[in-house]
Structures are given as structure tokens and as C-alpha cells.
Amino acid sequence: MPNKTITANLMTELNLNQNPNQNLDQHLDQKETFNIWAASLQVRMEDVLNTHMPTAETIPTRLHEAMRYSTLGGGKRVRALLAYAAGEFCGAKLATIDLPAASVELIHAFSLVHDDMPCMDDDDLRRGKPSTHKKYGDAVALLVGDALQSLAFQFISQDKLLKNATQKLQMLHILALASGSRGMAGGQAIDLDSIGIPLTREELEHMHIHKTGALIRAAALLGAYSAESPAEDKLKAIDHFAKSIGLAFQVVDDILDAEADTQTLGKTAGKDARNNKSTYVTILGLSAAKQLAAELHANAMAALSYYGREADLLRQLANFITQRSF
């Protein structure tokens, strides 16, 4: 992502804080446009979460303080960006995407809190600061995850900008499926059961389609369903795109775990290999894993080939996911 100081200056100059999706082609190339769009919406998402989450002064104060600690002030916000990009692609208004995008970020934050706990991946560092259980203790961390998950569904169910009740129910269904035993939680269960057991590529893919890919797919679909009447062909294109880029995200994660350092990642590097977990790097090798990421990126791009510039944000987001260094 771009340097935040530079981005803030550019956003001020181009008045992007008021309308982050305006056409900037007369000023900037496509990558710079995407970087500014992403940075402005990262700030927007932080504001949405900060505004709609319970304050740290709300009783029980320690739980709410820990929920905010776990959610605010860090992260790439890739899932929220995907929701915004898919929503814009389908014609949704920015404000209508806010709470659905935030709901996915809450589910993601909940998953990280629980994933870091000693009974799971046992990591002391998250987003460059102590994991929630290290700062607040295991019991509070457990409750933080529970509360964030519930709050995610509350965000959507109480969203007054989502006028179509049928679509709102569909969004709740998508999020529930993606976060439960047939999605993210199920993938995590497979991961725990597989420690020290060599997996085939097919078994690893099955695990990550659920553990990582399901929520990324849900983010894109929630963004799309934020539009009043999303076109069926666009919903299918987004679904195909998100399935490919969701798996690519995990492949790149495995590559970075092997190549990057802890300071860059904001979490403990090399941990999967030390814990005898199967990764795309351990199964395929580094070079073949990079080739697979490129193939998945190409598949995601192919899903958008019918569309013109209205899909450019999705394309640039796919580029960021596969070319990121953290």
C-alpha cells in the first residue's frame, strides 16, 4: 500500500476525502489511482468501525476496549476493499456498502483473535502489536471473538440503508455460511487436525478454500448485494473472481511466510514451517508456488474479461493481493 503521508497529501489536493471514487485519470495513472482509492477507503473503514462499534466506556468496559484494540488501528482491510470494489462494480452507493464491508472486517478480526490463542496457532504478535490474549488474557480474548462475530451480523441486520429485505437475508446467509463450519471455522478445524500430517495439494486447497477463501468470497458478494439490483452476470463474474483471488491470497501468504521477516509481516514469520504445517511452499516449492499464484491471478482476471473499465478496481485489487509484500 502507498505511503500514508503522501497519500493524505494527494487526497487533500484532489479532494478525495469527499468522493474517493471520482475519476482521477486526468491526474494519475491506474496504479496511483488505485492506491489513493484504497488508502481513502481504509480511512473510511476505520471511521465506520470506530463509529459503529461500542465505545470503550460502554459497560463491560474491558471487553469493549479489547474489541476495539483487536479491530481498529491496523490491517490491510483487503476484505473491505473487495466489498467496496465489488459494490461499485454492481452500482452500489458507497454508504450502502459501509456496514456490510465492516461486518466482514469484524469476522476477520474475530478469526485472528481466536487464531492467535495458545489453543490454536499460539502467536504473540498481530499487526505489529501484542495479540489480544497477550494483552487482555485468554478469557477476554475468547469473549472478544464471540462478541465481534455477533456484532458483524448486527451490523447487517440493523442497516437501514439496505432496503431490500430479501437481499439482506441473502447477505446474512452468505456471511453465516462463510464464517461457520462449512467455511472459515471448518477450514481452521481441518488445519488443526493436519498439524504434522503431510497434505496433498488437493487437500491443502480444500482446507484453504474454506479457511481463507470463504470469507474473501463473502466480502465480494456482500459488496455486490449492497446494490439495489445487482445484475446476474456480474454476480457470477464476482463469484468466479473472488474464488480465484481468495485462493491466491493464501498462496501469497504462504510465500511471504517463507520469504518475509516478522517486522514486515507484523506477525511471526516462518511459523508454519516450524510447526510442521503443510503450505503451498512446502508442498510445491517456492518457484511453483509463485507460478500457482500467477495462474490464480490470471483466472481472476479472466472472470472480468467481458467487462471494461468498470471492473478496473477489482483488477487492481487482484494485482495488489498477488504482488503485496506484507
pLDDT, position 27: 45
> Taking residues 169-177, what's their average pLDDT?
97
Check if the beta carbon of residue 171 is closer than 8 Å to that of residue 165. Answer: no
Percent of the chain with pLDDT over 90: 77
How far, in Å, CA of 109 to CA of 123, rounded? 14
pLDDT at 232 exceeding the cut of 90:
yes
The residue to which cell 502507498 is assigned: 2
Is residue 267's pLDDT more than 80? Answer: no
Residue with more model confidence, 122 or 260: 122
Please choose, from the candidates 231, 63, 77, 234, the residue with its C-alpha nearest in 3D space to the C-alpha of residue 151.
Answer: 63
- pLDDT computed for residue 1 by the predictor: 44
* 28 compared with 88, residue with greater pLDDT: 88
Q: What is the pLDDT of residue 257?
A: 87
Is-contact 86 243, C-beta < 8 A?
no
Residue 175 CB neighbours (<10 A): 26
246 touches 216 (CB < 8 A): yes
Query: Alpha-carbon distance 251 to 134, whole Å?
Result: 28
Does position 61 have pLDDT exceeding 60, yes or no?
A: yes
Give the distance from CA 304 to its chain's centroid. 20
Give me the chain's average pLDDT, please.
89
Mean pLDDT of 15-30: 52
Cis peptide preceding 60, ω within 30 of 0: yes
Residue 114: closest CA among 127, 131, 130: 131
Does the pLDDT value for residue 14 go beyond 60? no
Rounded Cα distance between 102 and 119, Å, is 27
Least confident span in 11-15, 212-216, 229-233, 320-324? 11-15
Enter the C-alpha cell of residue 115.
Answer: 487464531
Query: Nine-digit cell at 107?
Result: 469476522
Taking only the tens place, the pLDDT of each residue in 64-122 is 999 999 999 978 999 999 999 999 999 999 999 999 999 999 999 999 999 999 999 88
259: confidence class by pLDDT, cuts 50, 70, 90: confident
pLDDT at 24: 46
Inform me whether the pLDDT recorded for 161 exceeds 70.
yes
- Give dist(CA 198, CA 203) in Å, integer: 10
Listed by start position, the domains of the chain span 4-17+26-235
In DSSP terms, 130 is beta-bridged to 125
Mean pLDDT of 8-14: 38
Give burial (CB, 10 Å; 0-12/13-18/19+) of 220. Answer: buried
Measured CA to CA, the distance from residue 63 to residue 144 in angstroms comes to: 6
Kindly list the distances between the CA atom of residue 215 and the CA atoms of 35, 126, 187, 211, in Å, as whole numbers in the listed order.
Answer: 23, 19, 11, 8
What is the Cα–Cα distance from 54 to 51, expressed in whole angstroms? 8
pLDDT at site 11: 41
Q: Which residues of 282-302 are buried (b: 16+ CB within 10 A; e: fewer)?
A: bbbeeeebbebbeebbebbbe
Q: Is the pLDDT of residue 22 over 70?
A: no
How many CB atoms are located within 10 Å of the residue 53 CB? 20
Task: Print burial letters for 74-110: b (CB count within 10 Å at least 16), e (below 16).
Answer: ebbbbbbbbbbbbbbbbebebebbbbbbbbbbbbbbb
The reply to whether CATH 3.40.50.720 applies to domain 4-17+26-235 is no
